[in-house]
Structure 1
């Protein structure tokens, strides 16, 4: 899974270089890499804006038609998350556990250490959920110990979920807001105020409970008992309460630390608006459309998905995609409100479905600086008789800039009812993909474990459903 080199001689070492690092720098790197993956529109890595029919491509329409093998997309997703994120977090964890505090730190280090380990673990949990939700069964228990397991086995996706929930509950209980954590190394929740001067542990607690809610909701159809207890605990523990709790990476205005959307769109004209969402928003008089897309002489025009189109003839992504400092979203308050609306609709947990549905839409309007949320909600009220359609369609619109998250709503709720382009590759079987195929590198280098995993999930296909996607 990981490629490197080793030698008995020190030919690869610079005697004048300092090879040690700190947990803070590894955390910063892992946070940026995670955000880069979740937010990039690079066709080599994250094509979910295309899959969810928000955008389509101008000239090279392979990925809009679900050809992800031409650019080895799965290999890149695997490396992004396992190597760039998880392995760096694992290294940070090792440094924390090996650290011997100075005498002056003996009273403060235990609490700081617990906070650091809890934050590292929560980031691992988030990343593993992304990988499970993308591929199904994946390496987990053996994944990061390359010395002992150079060819790691694949664990059952359902077992991974159960373990993530158990670990996350402990992480949340370990957090202590009276103690420090990572200081400026924590980009997600750094607070410079004198009383905190570092990681905002209260916000990390809300993130942890919100992530627990996300894990629980994912299991709603396949394991409703575990789903309900998990969701109950998350909401009782305290999830995000405003957009100020958003987990996001704060990008800078200079290379190489701009938002990856800006890096992809700033020098190329590869993407145009997808007709599916543009038509839906036009039909529903959605004021957010002026933030989502540019207009063509006052109109918003999307191209048929999978069909080439001239950049100047169709709407493009809005200004946010051409702004270097647009934050990279990891988990948002709007997303959490939609989970809460779903929990209330399914089980009567945590509030009134219609109220939470309206709150989620309002939060999205506010985030995009759009007016008219109340009128929009009045025109598109919550439908208790078909709540999956209400929540699924509105989450699809709201998650426009969180396409990987949108894909989860789509698969779990079966709304919106997206139609694959007629030009889609045969391997898609006329359907919108519900998973990515395993990396080709796994088939060639970890063949026996790959073969076992492929058989266990029902075949390594774009149409094989993730374990929780049973409807």
Structure 2
């Protein structure tokens, strides 16, 4: 999905100083490009980028891998990460950030667009965390200035995290101060494809983002800042609904990008991922009883569960061919439950289950912001069942009772501390339970977040160096010198290296961890 208005277009328009007699009077000009024309598409682009981030993370944590007889994945198997690997993760997010910065700058000059600017600021934070978690140090204080600075400095990743937390506090305070003021343009479903102008929800969502930042940064070099920031949350609380982007996805035009990537085009052509990818044997142990029994979510997530084709990353000899549409559990002519609900379904960018598990971890380490660790742990599991049991309209499907299913899940695994939190007797076991359940809840929605959490905590557990498929999601062809045989970061794109002398010098993806990767 392309941005309808990029900064490049804006700059080109502003460079025109004389009127061309052949100029189209109906074409967009700098004077007619306003935030209400940009914000919806910018948010839709963020949603599309999330699918790209998920896809790269999904290979790294066992959510997906190429099935048998498929070539061209050598670097994926060996983790040969170079400056030409995953370049869209960097380029597409910075392109998206330019749109948000345009809105922010416009709102500063035209205060009537204040709330548009505030939402753009929230998504600027959202996107910068994506970048830091993938790359570490990034341009922040000198970034997004266009021709004024084509070679911005790279700011320390921990310092950027602090700045993002501080920015969220400022945004929340700004919205709360002015949200009842009629002098500012209101938002609607047309201009706000997330909350349809509900500013209270934007405040709560900002709290969610702050929570994610602080939980991830706890115990790091900025821990004193983190501990102080935990005591300064807005009293408005957290958003405990699934946060969906829905700009009006259509079955015959621009469809849900997750569905497009893992199912088919609007014309019905099967996608590469739907045709070739399978889940890992390691992942299946959290469904088929080897680690956890979870038949209900197994059937809601995988076609033909428990007989879905599964494999191991890099095992080109034994991996089976893919079952077509492996993450689609409906009929081809109708909407479904589970992961891929339909072409017109809203796309989740922050699941309620993740919010609950973040609150559980915060409480585990002494910050009981909204309920105990155990209570939020239980709510996180329930929220995971609930979202999977909803249909394409985000309504609970007929006959589905998530509370009963979550209760049965706990009964089936009553002796397992990964499900029965009361049996976790140490802080390490409790954290393992929380992150393992988050790993399951994020399955095939946000692979990058599962990858971030594994690097940060070491959970879900793997057996370092093992080549047994049920003990690790690491590739059997891994070139990593690390004990876990995994990479730990992305490298900066070659285009950035060529244009900016300030790019940090890195040699591989196995060293120079992100600041919160202290595992």
Q: TM-score interval w.r.t. the shorter chain?
A: 0.7 to 0.9
Look up the match of 2:45: 33
Q: Displacement, 1:314?
A: 8.5
Question: Which of 433, 436, 442 in structure 2 is aligned with 1:399?
Answer: 442
Look up the match of 1:257: 254
Look up the match of 1:18: 28
3-state SS of 2:478 partner = coil
Look up the match of 2:180: 178
**Structure 1 residues 295 and 251, CA gap change in structure 2 (3 angstroms):** farther
Q: Displacement, 1:431?
A: 2.5
Asked if 1:88 corresponds to 2:131, the answer is no
Look up the match of 1:106: none
Asked if 1:468 corresponds to 2:496, the answer is no
**Structure 1 residues 381 and 290, CA gap change in structure 2 (3 angstroms):** same
Encode CA deviations 1:206-262: one digit per residue, 9 max, x unaligned. Answer: 10111111111111120333223323433744111344xx24345512354212222
**Structure 1 residues 425 and 29, CA gap change in structure 2 (3 angstroms):** farther
Q: Displacement, 1:11?
A: 11
Does the aligned pair in 1 maintain the 2:256–2:344 contact within 8 Å?
yes
Question: Aligned partners of 2:236, 2:18: CA distance in 1, in Å?
Answer: 53
**Structure 1 residues 166 and 281, CA gap change in structure 2 (3 angstroms):** same
Question: Which of 80, 85, 90 in structure 2 is aligned with 1:78?
Answer: 90
Encode CA deviations 1:72-117: one digit per residue, 9 max, x unaligned. Answer: 343211111101x100011112222233xxxxxxxxxx5x543222
**Structure 1 residues 6 and 53, CA gap change in structure 2 (3 angstroms):** same
In the TM superposition, what are the counterparts of 1:214-233 in structure 2 within 5 Å?
A: 214-222=212-220, 223-233=222-232
**Structure 1 residues 27 and 68, CA gap change in structure 2 (3 angstroms):** farther
**Structure 1 residues 167 and 187, CA gap change in structure 2 (3 angstroms):** same
Deviates more, 1:274-283 or 1:213-222: 274-283
Asked if 1:340 corresponds to 2:337, the answer is no
What residue ranges of structure 2 are gaps of 5+ in the alignment? 1-6, 265-269, 330-338, 390-401, 414-418, 463-471
Does the aligned pair in 1 maintain the 2:82–2:491 contact within 8 Å?
no
Encode CA deviations 1:387-446: one digit per residue, 9 max, x unaligned. Answer: 121111111001111212222221222101343112124587862232211112122222
3-state SS of 1:178 partner = coil
In the TM superposition, what are the counterparts of 1:446-457 in structure 2 within 5 Å?
A: 446=500, 448-450=501-503, 453-454=504-505
Question: Aligned partners of 2:481, 2:255: CA distance in 1, in Å?
Answer: 36
Look up the match of 1:323: 342
Higher helix share: 1
Encode CA deviations 1:124-172: one digit per residue, 9 max, x unaligned. Answer: 0111111011100011111101211111110111111111111110100
In the TM superposition, what are the counterparts of 1:410-425 in structure 2 within 5 Å?
A: 410-418=454-462, 419=472, 420-425=474-479
Question: Which of 291, 298, 305 in structure 2 is aligned with 1:289?
Answer: 298
Look up the match of 1:377: 410
Look up the match of 2:498: 444
What residue ranges of structure 1 are gaps of 5+ in the alignment? 100-109, 191-198
3-state SS of 2:144 partner = coil
**Structure 1 residues 133 and 228, CA gap change in structure 2 (3 angstroms):** same
Deviates more, 1:400-409 or 1:4-13: 4-13
3-state SS of 2:232 partner = helix
Q: Displacement, 1:182?
A: 2.8
3-state SS of 1:363 partner = helix
Does the aligned pair in 1 maintain the 2:78–2:475 contact within 8 Å?
no
Deviates more, 1:460-469 or 1:119-128: 460-469
Asked if 1:202 corresponds to 2:213, the answer is no
Asked if 1:435 corresponds to 2:489, the answer is yes
Does the aligned pair in 2 maintain the 1:187–1:249 contact within 8 Å?
yes
Encode CA deviations 1:304-330: one digit per residue, 9 max, x unaligned. Answer: 123344444588213433721232221
**Structure 1 residues 330 and 439, CA gap change in structure 2 (3 angstroms):** same
Question: Aligned partners of 1:115, 1:24: CA distance in 2, in Å?
Answer: 11
3-state SS of 2:165 partner = helix
3-state SS of 2:28 partner = coil
Deviates more, 1:169-178 or 1:368-377: 368-377
Does the aligned pair in 2 maintain the 1:207–1:247 contact within 8 Å?
no
In the TM superposition, what are the counterparts of 1:110-259 in structure 2 within 5 Å?
A: 113-176=113-176, 177-179=179-181, 180-183=185-188, 184-190=190-196, 199-222=197-220, 223-234=222-233, 236-243=235-242, 246-250=243-247, 252-254=249-251, 256-259=253-256
Question: Aligned partners of 2:252, 2:323: CA distance in 1, in Å?
Answer: 30
Q: Displacement, 1:189?
A: 1.0
Q: TM-score, length-normalised on structure 2? A: 0.77
Question: Aligned partners of 2:157, 2:40: CA distance in 1, in Å?
Answer: 28
Aligned residues: 438
Question: Which of 267, 276, 279 in structure 2 is aligned with 1:270?
Answer: 276
Q: Displacement, 1:66?
A: 5.6
Q: Displacement, 1:56?
A: 0.9
Q: TM-score, length-normalised on structure 1? A: 0.84
